[in-house]
Amino acid sequence: MKQLNSEHKLGEVIPNIATLLNQNVKRFGEKIVFQEKNNKGVYEGITWNEFYNNIQNIAYNLQQNGFQKGEKIVVFSRNCLEMLELELAVMAYGGVVVPIFANFKKETAELLINHSRATWLAVQGETQLANIGTELNLKTIFSFTKVKDERFPNLKSFDDLLKQRPDNTTVFDTTITPDTICLNMYTSGTMGIPKCVQLMHKNILSQQAALSIVWDVTPDDRFLAYLPWHHSFGGIFELFTALYNGATFSLESSFGRDANMIFENWKLVKPTIFFSVPKVYQSLYDLTRESKAAEDIFFNSGLKFIFTAAAALPEKLSNEFEKRGIKVVEGWGLTETSPCCTLTDPSLKRETGVVGKPIPGISIRIADDDEIQVKGPNIMVNYFDNDEANATVFTEDGWYRTGDVGEITENGLKLISRKDRIFKLSNGEKVIPTDLEKAIELKCHYVQYAVVSGSGEEHPVALIFPNKKLLERPDYELSPEEGCFCPRSLNELGRCLTGCLAMANDSLKQKFAKVKSAAIILDELSLDNNTLTPSMKVAPKNVVERYKKHLLNMYGENVPVEEEVYIIELEPDKISPRCTK
């Protein structure tokens, strides 16, 4: 098997979260650790001394309320200071935190709370309380905001946990071993049987020790952050990168949903480091097209680097940062790897699909079936209460099977696809749908998502979901590809995309992998219809199920559909010219 190891040796690792907090309060005492907007729209910060005191109080008062080491508390909330302080207090005391998505509906929230076997719960407020029932076996529920709900006699205010403890009292446990579980995190694609990843203190802290070797994050850095903490990208990777290094973490008040608000917060915070997914980078860049002042603010001279994950950053977009001297770093990992395994070298020319080399302490190998396998101190213990998944997730010699397919190149690991996305046509040929999906999404700025399907069929087809906001903006002038006439309707987009799809087809080596038809559907993928995961990734199986009538129609059926749709028919042996006005 081909193997790839880090070029750097992993140094000393802080043993547990309690020790990290003790060290950092001494180093950064009066420095601002965290800030968020108050009700006047002004960023208000908290120092390390205040932050540390709150965490100590919470840990002490949890103990006084009967919380014991090893017990679990589900945190059902959006990002906020209270959530952060509670999670760190639980970890430092010796408990286990189980964060879940703040907008889960009752069925999913109760499923995960029950599955986790947690007997303690913290909620943001009324919205989350409305999505749980009284039959849950919970000792105590804490609410971050003041609410009343007569259904829950065990409901308490989070303020009770902030009461000042006796002088010099501490329940932080600095003897916690690195192998102690401190975090249970549900994977973003959790559907059906829950996959609850069990992570240890050493998983989180070994990663930060590794990152401190390969990139430069300092106490002077400023993070503007929206990534949700129930997901590993935001809740482990970004958050602990800031905490570990003493940087200031500023919470983005729209939680990544409003590009205009992100931009306003950008002006206030002036971030030096920004973590995001490509869709948000694109939305922010779009705003800079409207004025030179906006461009100067966004590409401010203090921005050291941006980090992107979840999908490749389009080359044209990354070039906008790089030509201004702002480094673009990409990485790869999973919740099970807590999460970062690789980082790209910003000094090298970017290659599509290449996600860089292993960070210190991590080894990667490619199995005979091309699956990527990983070993290192970042790897989870296992999945909680999921014998079926645990039976196959590790190899006999202890390597974690990632479920991703890839190859090793000169510049590092190259991702090809998720293993479970690869399907066979009726003739037995294997199709990697992600190759064409990426080509389509990168080819046209007006395509928000593309899903290629065709298992058991003679040829693949594509479901395409346009960026409705762009179609509705007649003033938008950016032409990401020469010849694109910036469509304003579904029909115009369909005519324009005919050429783009043919060119995307032509980028594939295998003739059988090319799509013969595509349906552009004027509908939006979302969390509410389960076509997007809580981390805003496409859930392909759910998309195929929801829009199966459109698939049937592309294979010759005539099934009535509700959504407005434009069908593109292609001849895979020919390249159509790009459509023009």
CB 29 within 8 A of CB 48: yes
**Nearest of 422, 535, 481, 439 to residue 189 by alpha carbon:** 535
Which pTM value belongs to this model?
A: 0.90
Tens digit of each residue's pLDDT (9 = 90 or more) over 153-201? 999 999 999 999 999 899 999 999 999 999 999 997 645 667 999 999 9
Model confidence at 484, in pLDDT bands (50, 70, 90)? Answer: low
| Within a domain: 112 | yes
Residue 181: beta bridge partners? 200
Question: Is 198 part of a structural domain of the chain?
Answer: no
Q: Tell me the average pLDDT of the chain.
A: 92
Q: pLDDT per residue over 330-384, tens digit each?
A: 999 999 999 999 999 998 888 888 999 999 999 999 999 999 999 999 999 999 9
**Last residue of some domain: 176, 199, 219?**
176
Identify the CA nearest to 235 among candidates 177, 274, 183: 183
Assigned domain for 221 exists: no
In tens, the pLDDT along 247-293 reads 999 999 999 989 999 999 999 999 999 999 888 898 899 888 888 88
Last residue within a domain, chosen from 176, 195, 221:
176
What phi, psi does 304 have (nearest 5°)?
Answer: -80, -50
Q: What is the CATH number of the domain that holds 68?
A: 3.40.50.980
- Between CA 226 and CA 340 the distance in angstroms is 18
- Model pLDDT for residues 509-559, shown as the tens digit of each residue: 899 999 999 999 999 999 888 898 877 789 999 999 999 999 999 999 999
Domain hosting 123: range is: 17-29+39-176
In a domain, 251, yes or no: no
Is 119 within a domain? yes
Q: Starting at the edge strand that comes first in sequence, how are the strands of the sheet with 120-123 ordered?
A: 155-157, 140-143, 120-123, 72-76, 96-100, 181-186, 196-200
List Cβ neighbours of 294 (8 Å cut-off, separation of 6 or more): 263, 287, 288
List the CATH number of the domain containing 515: 3.30.300.30
Instruction: Using pLDDT thresholds of 50, 70 and 90, give the confidence band for residue 111.
Output: very high
481, 36, 49, 80: which is closest to 265 by C-alpha? 36
How many separate domains does the chain show? 2
Of 158, 176, 194, the residue that ends a domain is 176
Residue 392 forms part of a structural domain: no
196, part of any domain: no
What are the C-alpha distances in Å from 102 to residues 109, 125, 227, 256, 535? 9, 10, 13, 14, 12
Residue 329 lies in a domain: no
Distance, CA of 389 to CA of 411 (rounded, Å): 32
User: What span, in angstroms and rounded, lies between the C-alpha atoms of 79 and 233?
Assistant: 13
Sign of the dihedral through C-alpha 58, 60, 65, 69: positive
